Structure 1
Amino acid sequence: MKIVDEGAKFVFHQDEIDYRFNDSHPFNQQRLVLTCDLLRKAGALPDEAVISPRSATEEELGYVHSKEYIQAVQALSLPAPDREWLARAESYGLTSEDTPYFTRMHEITARVVGGSLKAAELVMSGETSHALHLGGGLHHAFSGKGAGFCVYNDASVAIASIRAKYGARVLYIDTDVHHGDGVQWTFYTDPDVCTFSIHETGKYLFPGSGGVDERGDGLGYGCNFNLPMEPYTEDASWLECFEESLRRVVAAFKPDVIVSQHGCDAHAYDPLSHIHCSMNIYARMPQIIHRLAHEHCEGRWIALGGGGYDIWRVVPRAWSLLWLEMSGHPLGASVEADGLLPLPQDWLDEWGPQSPKQLPGTWLDNPASWESMPRRDEITEKNRRTLQLTTLHLPPETVG
């Protein structure tokens, strides 16, 4: 089935780069600037596709976050927070090295959440089938606590809004190398929200959760799926587990809409994980999700950003490939035909001198030139056993 899409929307505003903790923090939204510039220099991001985000209201934030937590975020957003709130900040997860409070935190993060709400509204209203908000994907925040670089959980708020306003069944797909714990626990008992996360096993990586035995609870039992991959997993094993399990999950759950989170930190260059995948998975996973959206959801697909800490060599290419797939731009087919197609020279000329490491010159990588993983067969076999456990309780008629 050849998919031809027109009119996909790209939710973005320059202000979203203000979501930053400090100058040395690994979460650096300069990657949004790099990505948008790459797409524009490639001729793939027309002005008419770009939609500005709005700000989430306190009522909308309250779909997921407690009133007390919202008040704490607001109070700690002041240039000089009150001493009482400073004394309580640790209990809200906002004094950690990962997620320290910062000035205008509430205002800036409410706009991030509003961007994901805007993307959801564009799709659920029928204005477009696909919408992308790369500034979102803050999937670790909980109802009353920030965590893992995330203050508010825009993915959870967007899903809760879809449930409240449209009554749609939502499939959430998380491709970040870190388990999508905040979204999972938000909807752990909800039979109308299915969460699916592929990530490096929590035995070795934050947040330490995401085992195959976390399947949901109460009415939501059987609506939560985790694929914890072994360290040093490579492309073939990652994609084998992702595609087979996701295809079966979608067929069994029968969603009305897909919300996907596209952290791109499972790449071998990423400094915060141990997975050894190439840019190939960031070309292939959006293709798989795109096809499933058309097969099961009448094309309804909302995509968000996420992690990704090699902001020069990995994130701009990975997120650009996602947009090329969502928008049906012909450059995507050209990259698929020739993965070593050169990146725009003017983009390399502009950003190359600023990058701490040499920028790759092509859209995809050449993993054949990388050092081979010595335990490849063992890792592949362990991942296959995980795949079997993850899909164990799916109805047999969904196989194939």
Structure 2
Amino acid sequence: MPGYSTNEWTKYISLEMGEIEICDVTLRDGEQTPGVAFTREEKIDIARMLDEIGIEIIEAGFPATSQGEKESVKAIASLGLNAKICCLSRAIKSDIDAVIDCGADMVGMFVGTSDLHLKYKHKKTQDEIIDCAVEALEYAKRHGLIVRFSPEDGSRTGLDFLKRFYRAGEEAGADYVGAIDTVGIMTPATMRFMVGEILKTVKLPIAVHCHNDLGMAVANTLAAAEAGAKQLHTTTNGIGERAGNAALEEVLMNLRIQYGVDKYDTTRITDLSRMVQKYSGICMAKNKAIVGDHAFAHESGIHIAALLENDRTYEVFSPELVGGKREFILGKHSGSKALCYMARQMGYTLSEAETTQVLCEIKRLSELKKSIRRNELKDLIDHVVGQKFNTPEASAP
């Protein structure tokens, strides 16, 4: 039996899933999270682990923002990783020069295309913005960079203009075009439609970049992949500006379980998550999918009894697959099987009466909002069982 269950329902739907690659943007968009600033050493640690997992592209930063950022990107580009190193750039020559100076392989070049961005940020017409973007693209290509040509706020850009933008990028030599949901407004249905329209317009691979403002970044990323997008953008733990980006750990595990994409070493996911939590100062919710403290924690007696027979009954994949650990927690919903199992793991064999007594105490404590973990159970058993042998009746001659 594999370490995970597969989704049998996918056989009923038509998918366009092709050759997928991940571009992780933790070191760039993740660092745009308010209050987050990685040191050069922290960036290097994260980049190395992303590379060990098998991530194909690491977006190492936005070198035009500061000299320190530029030096960090240079350091990552010089590590000799298997992953290609990408940098973000506006569609201006000085930004591209900074990318070139870093020794990066790829540039993610962007310019705002929605009416809002054209009017209030760029103060340019549609034709003017295309001319600027194409000029910058051609400059980057002349200097040997792989170019991802992206319309910022593309998901709020009119379709006709969006198609003109993509065609101009293809004609100028872009290597990728971006389906960019800058403000997280898309749904899986609209994302599939958008990717489908791009595929009708150009023959270039599509990179999808989703934000989580409405809580659908991962779903939209997977929908784009189903529709034919190749490059999926993620951040570790889903960090990023505002509500964040598509979470790397959720995208990777969905790719494996839903679509059978198993080319990534997912056993490093939990270690990477904890590293990024430590370096960013942003802790995950206990119930966070894949990497939360409760992702493999079970309290229900019905669930635990079944898990002891076969762990697939209440887990879609084993915790070892992501470097996690299963944990049984005792509380008001727990039963004797879970208690006796945990007690045996610690070397105790409880009688039926002792089991009942300990379980009653566990349920009493749970009413006080207290759950019992393994390290606390030993003290509880010692206390309850010890009381049995220290009553006046038991000590009488």
Q: Which category describes the TM-score, using the shorter chain as reference length?
A: 0.3 to 0.5
Greater share of helix: 2
Structure 2 length as normaliser, TM-score? 0.33
Larger radius of gyration: 2
